[in-house]
Structure 1
Amino acid sequence: MLPFALPVDVALARPVATFPSGEGVSLEPKWDGWRALLRTGPDSRVFSRHGTDLTRAMADVARTAASLPEAVLDGELLAITDDGQVSFALLQSRAGKGPRPGAGFSVVFVAFDLLATGREGADLRARTYLERRDRMLILLEGAPAAISPTPATGDNDGALAWVGSLGGAIEGVVAKPVDRPYLPRYSAGWTKWRRRHTTDAVITGITAAANPSQQAAVLAQPDGGGRLRPVGVSLPLAAALRRELAPLLRPVGDRLAELPGTVGGLPGSPPITYQPVVPEVVVELLTDQERPEFGRYRHRPRIARRRADLTPDLLSPGGS
């Protein structure tokens, strides 16, 4: 019997700008998937990091987990196409639906922590990372390929070599102190680093916000035919950047427009309301994807600066 009920608060990794090297840490891939808790054993269940029960949507993962000893694993759900590519967008298509024959992809669970075992009724969260990982590797020895442990290393170069591999599925590196217990939210001391890419985009609108500090830019890039298509919504604009852009952005009309919440990287969110502007100001973005996937960026980009040397007609598809 498990020593606690699910869901529980998960440990979170704090973003850092520099690669998290150093002694006493274990380096793991930062996967581009859905964070999840997996209860293995006869009463197998799948929960999101926010506590949503995903068992129906991930029924194939739950069926596989039922063949393992009773335990609680922390990890990442990944959608893998039949030709071996990893796609976050396809993973989103599972939400609320479940496996479909002929979908062209399957979902796997990559485990990176063991929180409890049912055989002894042991809560392992107070144990060190090293002990938890050793016990997780024993638990998953000989497990089906659809549930596997994430790699880990103490070698900086080896960890950097992961980044960008598997079709971009590994978007960075997570560092975990080897002598720390598993604690909720940021208390565990985990950090995450993502490799950043630079690209260019055109501002086509400014989001409606009562507080100016929350205003963001609606971003577009040309498609293969040269037409501007929305690819995302930036992070809130810094005060200095707002002051620089304000006299350059010319409103189009006096009515607000809307875009689906997914354009802002927020699946299931309400539409994004914004003031359209003349698409003539080009900005440089910092993103964690080289190119948008399925027409948008996975995470909201940060605007690094205005590109006064560029006009929209000089951009190539994808902003490169």
Structure 2
Amino acid sequence: MDLPVMPPVLPMLAKPAARVPTGGGVSFEPKWDGFRCLVFRDGDEVELASRTGKSLTRYFPDLVEAVRAALPGRCVVDGELFVAVGDRLEFELLQERIHPAESRVRRLAAELPASYVVFDLLALDAVDCMALPFRERRAALAAVLADLDPTSRIHLARTTEDPAEAGRWFREFEGAGLDGVIGKPLDAPYAPNQRTMIKVKHARTADVVLAGMRPHKTSTPERPLLGSLLLGLYDGGGLQHVGVCATFTDKRRLELWEELQELVVPVEDHPWSFMGANAIANPDRVPGTVSRWSGGKDLSFVALAPTRVLEVGYDHMEGRRFRHTTQFKRWRPDRDPESCGYDQLEIVTAFDLSSVFED
């Protein structure tokens, strides 16, 4: 491979903003919920690189073929790799595509084919485009992808310079599984590993049940520190594990570990007992069960009596769990734990994924 921009290249990053900026000079596009991926193509040679620079190529042979069919013969582009089912992105299914067995990689490529949305251009033919302002990079990208086959799994990201339109996308596109809006300064060059973009993500709160905790990786018997709080919500099947809350100062980690000792109960008396029927019926929701995503880590937990409620901030759900780590807001002593159910969560209106791409 011989390109004007060679791997590894760390992608340009974004800093959070509370709302869509209205000052002008910014291009907006939907924020995708998949794997960030830089594509390097030199003829038949294709390399798919993750956000951290690791190769994704062997896991997505279907996307390699799609790149060869749709992208220019020599180019480097930035985009998002995703799996969609119907009109919605499915991050959990995308995760399944990362598998060590070659036979399973091939089978999943057929069963869960990946797609790729392109939103930036780093190189084209023999030209390094990274120093160009985004407005020029975007215009060149739109020109070379103007004739994409409608059946291709390669897509061009939709953009607008209208903040009002970006605000509408922020509200509507979540129904297709997207998680916000990205803003790119029109005059900015491509800056690897620099937070020069803006991201506006959905932010919500929920009242959840505290049901367990794990020690921090630096915790010692002499100085025990909290690592994470394990959260639950009630449904017809009982208390379901929905995620964790894990961002605290060391001082607060020490305080919480001591404070919560009064709630510790034997795990066999807990709704998430390792050997109980709930653990067998719902292995994905129960702390202490091991999956291939745990990487052999110890997932055991300290069971806590589910009597305390806290309010957490979250961006969105993935199935019946929080997609990302939540943020602690406050304790809710006024709430009955059994009143904390899924019915409090905002229901996002479905939206046609195909409407999110550039026409």
Task: Give the TM interval when normalised to the shorter protein.
Answer: 0.7 to 0.9
Q: SS at the partner of 2:207?
A: strand
| 2:7 matches 1:6 | yes
Q: State the alpha-carbon separation in 2 of the partners of residues 22 and 242 from structure 1.
A: 44
**Which residue in 1 is equivalent to 2:310?**
283
**So what's the TM-score if we normalise by structure 1?**
0.86
The answer as to whether partners of 1:208 and 1:273 remain within 8 angstroms in 2 is no
- 1:160 aligns with 167
Q: Superposed, which structure 2 residues align to 1:1-320 within 5 Å?
A: 1-40=2-41, 41-67=43-69, 68-69=71-72, 70-81=74-85, 83-96=86-99, 97-100=104-107, 105-117=112-124, 119=125, 121-144=126-149, 145-163=152-170, 164-165=172-173, 167-187=175-195, 189-209=196-216, 210=218, 215-225=227-237, 227-237=238-248, 247=259, 250-253=263-266, 259=288, 268=295, 270-289=297-316, 291-293=317-319, 295-317=320-342, 320=345
Tell me if structure 2 keeps the 8 A contact 1:231–1:292: no
Deviations 1:212-242 (A, max 9, x none): 77632111122332x1122211132366698
Based on CA coordinates, which of the two structures has the bigger radius of gyration? 2
CA-CA distance at 1:129 after TM superposition: 0.6
* Unaligned ranges ≥5, structure 1: none
Distance 2:305 2:326 in 1: 20
The 2-side partners of 1:246 and 1:80 are apart by 45
Deviation for aligned residue 1:111:
0.7
Larger relative helix fraction:
2
Q: Which stretch shows the higher mean deviation, 17-26 or 246-255?
A: 246-255
Give SS of 1:216's match.
Answer: strand
Could you tell me how far 1:267 is from its partner in structure 2?
6.3
Q: Counterpart of 2:39 in structure 1: which amino acid?
A: L
**In structure 2, what is the Cα distance between the partners aligned to 1:129 and 1:108?**
24
- CA–CA distance in structure 1, aligned partners of residues 169 and 294 of structure 2: 27
- Report the CA distance shift for 1:4/1:288 in structure 2 as closer, same or farther (over 3 A): same
Cα separation, 2, equivalents of 1:306 and 1:232: 17
Greater displacement, 141-150 / 24-33: 141-150
Aligned-residue Cα RMSD (Å) equals 3.0
CA contact (8 A) 2:213 2:226 kept: no
Structure 1 stretch displaced more, 206-215 or 309-318: 206-215
| 1:230-265 Cα deviation digits (max 9, x unpaired) | 22111323666985896465112499x9635879xx
CA separation of 1:46/1:221 partners in 2, compared to 1, >3 Å: closer, same or farther?
A: same
Superposition TM-score, scaled by structure 2 size: 0.77
TM-fit CA distance, 1:159: 1.1
1:174 partner amino acid: I
**How far apart are the structure 2 equivalents of 1:234 and 1:7?**
33
Change beyond 3 A, Cα 1:213–1:236:
farther
SS in 2 for 1:92: helix
- Check whether the contact 1:202–1:220 (CA below 8 A) recurs between aligned residues: yes
Structure 2: segments with no counterpart, 5+ residues: 269-273, 275-286, 346-359
How far 1:287 sits from its partner (Å)?
0.9
Using the aligned pairs only, state the percent identity. Answer: 31
Shift of 1:20: 3.4
Distance in 2 of aligned mates of 1:215 and 1:228: 21
User: Which stretch shifts more, 92-101 or 33-42?
Assistant: 92-101
Q: For residue 105 of structure 1, report the CA deviation from its aligned partner.
A: 4.0
The 1-side partners of 2:189 and 2:109 are apart by 42
Q: Distance in 2 between matches of 1:20 and 1:261?
A: 43
Q: Which stretch of the first structure deviates more once superposed, 274-283 or 203-212?
A: 203-212
Q: CA deviation at 1:74?
A: 0.4
Quote how far apart the aligned CAs of 1:195 are: 1.2
- Could you tell me how far 1:103 is from its partner in structure 2? 6.4
Deviation by residue 1:42-72 (Cα, 9 ceiling, x = unmatched): 2122111112211121111110111232211
SS, match of residue 137 in structure 1: helix
For the structure 1 residues 35 and 269, does the alpha-carbon distance in structure 2 shift closer, same or farther, using more than 3 Å as the test?
Answer: farther
| 2: CA distance, partners of 1:242 / 1:281 | 19
